[in-house]
Amino acid sequence: MLLIGSTLIVFISLVAISIFIFKYKGESDFYSNCLKRIIPVLLIGLFAYWLPVDTLIEIRHHDHVKYAELYKKSLKDPTNKELQEELAREREKLSKEDN
C-alpha cells in the first residue's frame, strides 16, 4: 500500500510541478500549496517503506517485547504451527490485558 500510495504521490507531484513551472511560471498559490503538502507526505511514505519490517514491529509493540519477538519469528517461519499457536496465546494475553 505504501508503494502504491508513494507512486501515486510522485505522479501527482510531477504533474503539479510541471503545471506550476510551465503554465503559471511559479505564480500559482494552488499548486504551491499542493506541493507544500505533497512533499512531506511523500517523504514520510518513502521513509516508512524503506524501514525494515522488524523495526516497524518493534515500534508498534515496544511495550510487549515477547509478543514482538514471537511475531518476528512467525514472519520468518510461517509454516511452524507450534510458533503460530504460541503467538496466538500471547496475542490472547495481550487482548485480555487491554480489556
Residue boundaries of the structural domains of the chain: 2-50, 53-98
The predicted-structure confidence for 19-78, as pLDDT tens digits, reads as follows: 888 888 878 888 888 888 888 988 888 888 888 989 989 998 899 999 999 999 999 999
The label of the residue with cell 507450534 reads 82
Nearest 5°: CA angle at 27, between 22 and 32? 90
3-state per-residue secondary structure call for 60-82: HCCCCHHHHHHHHHHHHCCCCHH
Q: Which three cell numbers stand for residue 7?
A: 507512486
Q: What is the pTM of this model?
A: 0.60
